[in-house]
Structure 1
Amino acid sequence: MFQTSTFTELAESIDGGLSLLTRDLGETELPSFCETKHARTARIMIIDDEMINIEIVQAYLEEEGFRNFLTTTDSTTAVEQIQSEKPDILLLDINMPQVSGLEILEKMRASKELRLVPAIVLTASNDPEVKLKALRLGASDFLAKPVDPSELMLRVQNVLAVKAYQDHLADYSIQLEKKVMARTQELVLSRQEAIHCLARAGEYRDDDTGHHVTRVGRYARLIAEELGFARERLDLIEQAAQLHDVGKIGIPDAILHKPGKLDPQEFDLMRTHCNVGRKIINPLSHEESIRLTTHTSVGMQIMGSTNSPVLKLAAVIAASHHEKWDGNGYPSGIAGTEIPIEGRIVAVADVFDALSSSRPYKDAFPIEKCLQILLEGRGTHFDPDVLDAFMRRQDEAISIRTEYATD
């Protein structure tokens, strides 16, 4: 019989995946500003059409210990130099021939890469409109010419401090995004493994390799792909299809392993695995939830997992993959398009795998006979469009059958 410990392991697998994400994000801290590079190592670019102005500003900053300078008097090449040199701060004259400081600011603001480079405007103009336009174009601060060395030092230090903190935030955001992506992927893989463990728990009752659920999932994905399902739906149906026979947990071993044909009473009991599977996967009723949450923490994990899209679809598949196109299937006897498309897909995938695999009551049929039996069920057992899609991809299905052959 199915052991409670299997459910415990399943719950711990899901819970473990969640904890990976929350644990590592919780340990991630914003780097201290004190850990940033010293301001004196900052790359300072000075753009002025008068070399004497550049020399004066550079001399003032050198007295305070700055050593990393980039300078140019050619405003026509300034943007290209900013692009290639990537300065930490820009000291920019406004009134320059050919290309003004305001034009340089405008080009920088239009560039995603340059818009965050801070610029202190050096200007002899007292025109408030010029200052307002510079601010609108992203200027960080202003200095009036002739430059006061003490004021220059304070303004540069303040702007560099803000720049350093912005760099930290940007780096932190990148690192955090990478960590979230990595942990999210681990969580996805953890959930997939938990789903597969639950699927195998049912399948091991009559297939001690567990390969049947893998093959059915792959066949279902193949058919859905041929039918034009979107990529995200392909992943969903492959995982959900693996849970199609989880209801076998509730079927006695004497029936599952019976070497001969089942009698009517035994077959009726076998049919119940569809509803058993649906009940296992589906969300619990309010009353069941109360009883379960007061029983064990494992129950809470199982109950919580039933809100996932994969398990919701799995419940649909578990309940409908033995329905037939002509209405003669079970457990509900629905027909045609009343059967969910995912159930119709898994019906073909499941029967192909059952025919091509050994069972206690039969040997594996040759592939040619399997395909012939499927075609005989077109329009009666199987949705014609779904079966045709499978037949168009039969070579790939056979390759899957070989790859995941039962040992």
Structure 2
Amino acid sequence: MSALPLASRPTVLIVDDTPDNLTLLTELLKLLYRVKAARTGEKALQIASSDEPPDIILLDVMMPGMNGFEVCRRLREQSWTRHIPVIFITTQGAADDEFRGLELGAVDYITKPINPPTVLMRVDNQLRLKAAADFLRDQNEYLEQEVQRRTQEVMAIQDVTILAMASLAETRDNETGNHIRRTQHYVRALADHLRHLPRFAAELDDETRHLLFKSAPLHDIGKVGIPDHILLKPGRLTHEEFEIMKMHTTLGLDALREAENRLGMSVPFLRLAKQIAYSHHEKWDGSGYPEGLAGEAIPLSARLMAVADVYDALISRRIYKASLPHEDAVQYIQSQRGLHFDPDVVDAFVVLQDEFRAIADNYHDGDAPAAQ
């Protein structure tokens, strides 16, 4: 073991209440290491928690006040000191001390009276092991940070892709303005509220609510495939035109399925996006489209979007209709409880109606008036 320049040497903290032992160990170690000394457990903890902690600690077991076992226990409790290796110094033949020390997390022990070559070898071995462990820990932290960074990049790409697809649909009908953003927040508000009900708790876990928020903007993606003369018609649609308009649900589902097929894998958030795009015009009583589903046969994601979508349509001005006041929209939603809408979702909407109004105000369309 050759001596390194002083500034590059590992630091050894010696903890012993006997001055002779401190002197002996200091003289032995100072040629190879920077040495710090403490005569009490309290002082040892103070040094270990400082801005320049030791690389290894030689810790006497029997000390007045705080003994070595308690010092070791406290070192292992703190995240900033638990990785410092501790070598206990025990009296000859104190097997119980050795066992207890190792049980508390010490890496080795040295018996008194000490053997200098043994001390030097054991300190060197543990410092080498610590260097390897520190390297691996740093690598793991780097890899975790890299995984987190790349995950955030993937999530950002997902978000950008969703908004780009939703905005594409929106450009076909620019009067809808911030509709996709409002409905996205409405759906999240409903999901956050309903998760507290036993009926919905399992289905509305944290991950699902997050994916609902991301998926909601794609509810009208199928309108990209509807001809302009129908999509942008200022008056009431004929029966034939409405039948074509209804096809946007199937077009949306097909587009999202095709995206998954081209990707060659199932994408979790697209599962909800497909449900919402295809089924948000289904009605609780079975009179909706495209399949005439009823009750809980309608996916929950679509039942949430149904309330969000209709409320926003009612309070928004369109080329073919005026906007309704918030109170009238709430009254209409309530009147459709158990008919168009899931009763529990309507009840949640009523509780959250002021939050819906606030969302509408925050994302109102350009010069259009805020929710009245």
Q: Which runs of 5+ in 1 are unaligned?
A: 1-35, 290-299
Are 1:211 and 2:178 an aligned pair? yes
Query: 284, 305, 315: which one pairs with 1:346?
Result: 305
Q: Residues 218 and 238 of structure 1 are in contact (CA less than 8 Å); yes or no, is this contact kept in structure 2?
A: yes
> Superposed, which structure 2 residues align to 1:145-160 within 5 Å?
145-160=112-127
Query: 96, 115, 132: which one pairs with 1:165?
Result: 132
C-alpha deviations, 1:1-42, integer Å up to 9, x for none? xxxxxxxxxxxxxxxxxxxxxxxxxxxxxxxxxxx9978543
Q: Residues 247 and 273 of structure 1 are in contact (CA less than 8 Å); yes or no, is this contact kept in structure 2?
A: yes
Aligned partner letter, 2:150: R
Residue in 2 that maps onto 1:246? 221
Further displaced range: 225-234 or 97-106:
97-106
Are 1:58 and 2:58 an aligned pair? no
Deviation at 1:272, TM superposition (A): 1.0
Deviation at 1:132, TM superposition (A): 5.5
Residue in 1 that maps onto 2:269? 310
Are 1:330 and 2:289 an aligned pair? yes
Query: 64, 71, 76: which one pairs with 2:38?
Result: 71
Aligned partner letter, 2:21: N
Query: 140, 144, 147: which one pairs with 1:177?
Result: 144
> Superposed, which structure 2 residues align to 1:98-247 within 5 Å?
101=68, 105=72, 108=75, 114-123=81-90, 125-126=92-93, 131=98, 134-143=101-110, 145-207=112-174, 210-228=177-195, 229-247=204-222
Q: Residues 184 and 216 of structure 2 are in contact (CA less than 8 Å); yes or no, is this contact kept in structure 1?
A: yes
| 2:174 match: secondary structure | coil
C-alpha deviations, 1:269-309, integer Å up to 9, x for none? 11111111112223689xxx5xxxxxxxxxx34x54xx222
Query: 243, 246, 251: which one pairs with 1:268?
Result: 243
| TM-score between the two structures when normalised by the length of structure 1 | 0.75
C-alpha deviations, 1:312-363, integer Å up to 9, x for none? 0111111211112222211111222222222222111111222222333223
Residue in 2 that maps onto 1:26? none
CA shift in 2, pair 1:350/1:101, >3 Å? closer
Are 1:89 and 2:56 an aligned pair? yes
Deviation at 1:92, TM superposition (A): 3.0
Aligned partner letter, 1:349: A
CA shift in 2, pair 1:138/1:38, >3 Å? farther
CA shift in 2, pair 1:284/1:189, >3 Å? closer
Q: Residues 15 and 44 of structure 2 are in contact (CA less than 8 Å); yes or no, is this contact kept in structure 1?
A: no
CA shift in 2, pair 1:276/1:148, >3 Å? same
CA shift in 2, pair 1:92/1:348, >3 Å? closer
| TM-score between the two structures when normalised by the length of structure 2 | 0.81
Query: 41, 46, 49: which one pairs with 2:14?
Result: 46
Residue in 2 that maps onto 1:282? 257
| 1:63 match: secondary structure | coil
Residue in 2 that maps onto 1:403? 362
Q: Residues 43 and 70 of structure 1 are in contact (CA less than 8 Å); yes or no, is this contact kept in structure 2?
A: no
Aligned partner letter, 1:194: T
